[in-house]
A = this chain, B = another copy of it.
Amino acid sequence: MIQYFSHVDLHSFCVSIFKKIGYDSELAKQASDVLLSADLRGVDSHGVARLSGYVRLWEVKRILVDVRPSIIHETPSTAVVDGGSGLGLVVAPYSMNLAIEKALSVGSGWVSVQNSSHFGIAGIHAMMALPYNMIGIAMTNASPIVAPTFSSSRMLGTNPIAVAVPAGEEPAFIADFATTTVANGKLEIMQRLGQSIPTGWVQTKEGESSTDPNELKNGGALLPLGGDREHSGHKGYMLGSVVDILSAVLSGANFGPFVPPFPAYIPMPTFMPGKGIGHFFGALRIDAFRLAADFKKDMDLWIRSFRKANPKNINQSVLIPGDLERKMEIERKASGIPLLESVIKDLQLLGNKLGVEFPHALTIE
């Protein structure tokens, strides 16, 4: 059974929860904006469903709410931010704003972040650059569940990359993707449905190819984008590695197999070379390269050319990155955000514990 909730109601609920754990109104709103944007854009795994996970991290003091992010080193176009063990949901907007400020001043800004935690969906941070006529870039490392080519060890996170590019009359181009073949959320859906999955998504704990969506739970690993060696999984491995290096080796965060886990019940790694998890943000001011008006005219042409490319199937034309999420957002703003029974139960319990009432559903399906 699925119930639909107003995104405004869910946002208020999140704000109240974040205030209960100690954030002021502004930061509570910022964190809630990030969570709800995931739900609105259809990335259910990164929205309100994660709220109680963040609170549990605060309960065990892996997330601190009384320390603000701070700049520990900077140049005109770069900086390293110490997230102060804070919620990635507020460390990320702080850091992206810093990248934007630097881009306003010297053309581009690049901020590597240490001592942070899960920052929600990458896309929403990259999109912060759009109103400034900038290209925005956001990436993060994450706890290890991906095996590099030729290995059975979990060494990398799903390490997503987001790139947001402004256009003129067309909506912005927004790419946002994990550097694995499949997102963990999709795997969980297949597990629930009891369906087998295509090869190239996961491997067993011995490193064998598998079509069983439960292999990750059984000690197996996700495969990097591309899948096996024959299908160039080594390229996904390189891509995930670059994200890890820019986010964590460049900032002094934990990297590769040493990244701390999201679930609060999983023990921290016994050895940690850095602080928290790492992110990397970039902003490129368009008119630091060419007139923004000319760029946008060309982006419109780019987008329209791709939309007009011959479809394989008459019923499915080529999509521009961001199309599906934009459509989903319109739909969900109108009809509400669907939540699974288990997620609702979890949020109601959280509300009870912290004295915040969970909203009523709009409709039940």
Contact = CB atoms under 8 A, between A and B. Distances in A.
Interface of A: 73-80, 106-108, 110, 112, 135, 147-153, 155, 163, 165, 173, 175, 177, 179, 181-182, 198, 200-201, 206-208, 225-227, 230-232, 234-236, 238-239, 241-242, 244-246, 249-252, 255-258, 273-274, 284-286, 288-290, 294-295, 298-299, 301-302, 305-306, 309-313, 316-319, 321
Given A313-B150, A316-B150, A245 B80 contact: no
A113 B312 CA distance: 33
17 contacts: A73-B289, A108-B108, A135-B250, A150-B311, A152-B311, A153-B309, A165-B242, A165-B249, A177-B235, A181-B232, A198-B230, A200-B231, A225-B226, A226-B226, A250-B286, A257-B309, A273-B301
How many of these chains are in the complex?
2
A302 B255 contact: yes
B255 A298 contact: yes
A77 B107 contact: yes
A151 B318 contact: yes
Given A147-B309, A148-B306, 18 more contacts: A73-B289, A76-B76, A76-B106, A108-B108, A135-B250, A150-B318, A150-B319, A151-B310, A151-B311, A152-B311, A155-B309, A181-B226, A208-B312, A226-B231, A231-B231, A234-B319, A245-B299, A273-B298
Contacts of A182: 232
Given A76-B77, A77-B106, A177-B235, A309 B163 contact: no
Contact of A148 (B245, B246, B309): B309
B112 A110 contact: no
Secondary structure call for the A interface: mixed
A245 B165 contact: yes
Contacts of A236: 225
Contact of A175 (B175, B238, B286): B238
Contact of A256 (B239, B306, B311): B306
Nearest to A180: B232
B284 A250 contact: yes
Contacts of A257: 305, 309
B107 A152 contact: no
B78 A284 contact: yes
Contact of A289 (B80, B135, B295): B80
A208 B312 CA distance: 8
Contacts of A231: 181, 198, 200-201, 226-227, 231
Contacts of A148: 306, 309, 318
B107 A317 contact: no
| 6 shortest interchain CB distances as A-B pairs | A75-B107, A207-B312, A78-B107, A175-B238, A153-B309, A78-B288
A147 B318 CA distance: 10
A321 B237 CA distance: 9
A299 B241 CA distance: 11
Contacts of A319: 149-150, 234
